[in-house]
Amino acid sequence: KVVCVTGASGFIASWLVKLLLQRDYIVKASVRDPNDPKKTEHLLSLDGAKQRLHLFKADLLEEGCFDPVIDGCEGVFHTASPILLSSIDPQAELIAPAVKGTLNVLKSCAKYPTVKRVVLTSSMAAVIYNGRPLTSNVVVDETWFSDPLVCEEMQGWYILSKTLAEEAAWKFAEANGIDMVTINPAYVIGPLLQPTLNLSVEMVLNLKNDAQEETFVNYLSTDVRDVASAHIQAFEVPSASGRYCLVANVTPVVEVLKILKELHPSLGPPEICEQGIPSAPEYQVSLEKAKSLGLGFLPLEVSLRDTVECLKEKGFL
C-alpha cells in the first residue's frame, strides 16, 4: 500500500514514517528541504527506506505542490504545521501555513480517487479552549471544539492556528466527500529520531512551575510512539471516524517535575515549589474513544525516562 506523510522530517512524522516502513508500506514523504541532511538523514537510514521511502519537496503555502506526493496514495497523513510559542506575525508564521497548508493538502487529496482516507494531525489545542470552565469534575472529550474567539482573547496564536486549520479541514472534507479522521494529542514526548529538538521535547528541558507558569498546572502528555501508532490505526481501522483526543496522562506538573529531578538533577527548577499548587489534575481528558482504536499507552514514567535518555545521548543534557 502506498501512503503519504507530510512534514516527514518532524518529530511525530519521523516516528510515523518509521512505523509505516516497519509495516511494509511504500511511503511518499514530503519535506521542505530534501537537501538538508539534518532533515533527511535519519529518515533515509530507517529500515526499509532504501526500498520504500520516496522523498518529495513541498511547502505548505505552495498551491498544488502536494499533487505529486499524493498521486497514487491510499492514505494521507497530514502532519506538517508550524509550531511556535511566540511570533511577530502570527498570521504569516502560523495561521496561513496551518490553514492554507491544510486546504492545499486536502485539495490535492480531492483530485486523486486512490485516496481512501486522510488522517490529520490536529491537537488538543483545537479541543480545550471553548470558554467552558475547566474544573476538577470536568472530562474533556471529542465533542469539545475550541472557539477561535477564545483563542484570540488568549493571544494563543498556535492554538488559534490549529483550531482554524481543523475547522477548515472538516468543512472541506464534508463538502468534498473526503473520509477524514483527526488525531488530537497534547504534549508529545519520547525519544527523538531526528538530530534537532522539537518544541514539546525542548519543553522538558525547561519545565518549571514558578509564578509565571501558574496556568500550567496540568501536564497533558502522550508518547510519540503511541501518537504515531494512533495515526496508523486511524487509517487501518475501517470504523475509525471523527476526532480522537489522544492524552495518555493528565498529571499535575509538580509530579512531572519530581520524576524529572530523579532522572536528571539539572532538570526542573532548583526547588520544586508546591505551595498553592494543586496536587490533583485540574480536569481530565477522556481516553475512551482513543482506546476503541485498540491502542495501549506507555506510562508517563517510561516516556519521561526515554525522553531524558535520548536528550543525554544526543548531547542536549
Q: State yes or no: residue 99 binds ligand NDP (CB under 6 A).
A: no
Q: Which of 75, 147, 65 is nearest to 107 (CA)?
A: 65
3-state helix, strand and coil shares in percent for the chain, rounded to the nearest 5? 40, 15, 40
Binding piece for ligand NDP, criterion CB under 6 A, among 107-115, 182-190, 207-215, 279-287: 182-190
The footprint of ligand NDP on this chain (CB under 6 A) covers a number of residues equal to 27
Q: State yes or no: residue 182 binds ligand NDP (CB under 6 A).
A: no
Among the residues of 64-193, which ranges form H helices?
67-70, 90, 96-111, 148-153, 157-175
111 CB burial (10 A radius; 0-12, 13-18, 19+): middle
Q: What is the CA radius of gyration of the chain?
A: 19
Q: Residue with the closest Cβ to ligand NDP?
A: 10
Could you give the string, one character per residue 264-303, with x where binding to ligand NDP holds by CB under 6 A and - elsewhere? ----------------------------------------
Q: Which of residues 207-236 bind ligand NDP (CB under 6 A)?
A: none
- Cell numbers that stand for 179 in this block: 473520509
Q: State yes or no: residue 317 binds ligand NDP (CB under 6 A).
A: no
d(CA 243, CA 184): 7
Q: State yes or no: residue 121 binds ligand NDP (CB under 6 A).
A: yes
Contact 224, 188 (CB under 8 A): yes
- How many Cβ atoms from other residues are within 10 Å of residue 181's Cβ? 22
Binding piece for ligand NDP, criterion CB under 6 A, among 11-19, 66-74, 173-181, 292-300: 11-19
Q: Which of 40, 104, 123, 307: binder of ligand NDP (CB under 6 A)?
A: 123
Binding piece for ligand NDP, criterion CB under 6 A, among 55-63, 65-73, 144-152, 288-296: 55-63
Helix 300-313 and helix 253-263, axial crossing angle in degrees, nearest 10:
50
- Min separation Cβ 130 and ligand NDP, Å: 17
Q: Which of residues 144-163 bind ligand NDP (CB under 6 A)?
A: 162
Q: Which of 3, 4, 12, 95: binder of ligand NDP (CB under 6 A)?
A: 12
Binding piece for ligand NDP, criterion CB under 6 A, among 54-62, 84-92, 204-212, 268-276: 54-62
Q: State yes or no: residue 187 binds ligand NDP (CB under 6 A).
A: yes
200 CB burial (10 A radius; 0-12, 13-18, 19+): buried
Contact 96, 165 (CB under 8 A): no
- How many Cβ atoms from other residues are within 10 Å of residue 194's Cβ? 19
Which helix (H) or strand (E) segment holds residue 302: the answer is helix 300-313
- Min separation Cβ 109 and ligand NDP, Å: 16
Q: State yes or no: residue 61 binds ligand NDP (CB under 6 A).
A: yes
Q: Which of 19, 52, 59, 236: binder of ligand NDP (CB under 6 A)?
A: 59
Nearer CB in complex with ligand NDP: 88/211: 88
d(CA 105, CA 79): 10
Nearer CB in complex with ligand NDP: 44/273: 44
Binding region for ligand NDP (CB under 6 A): 7, 9-13, 32-33, 39, 59-61, 79-83, 97, 121, 123, 162, 185-188, 198, 200
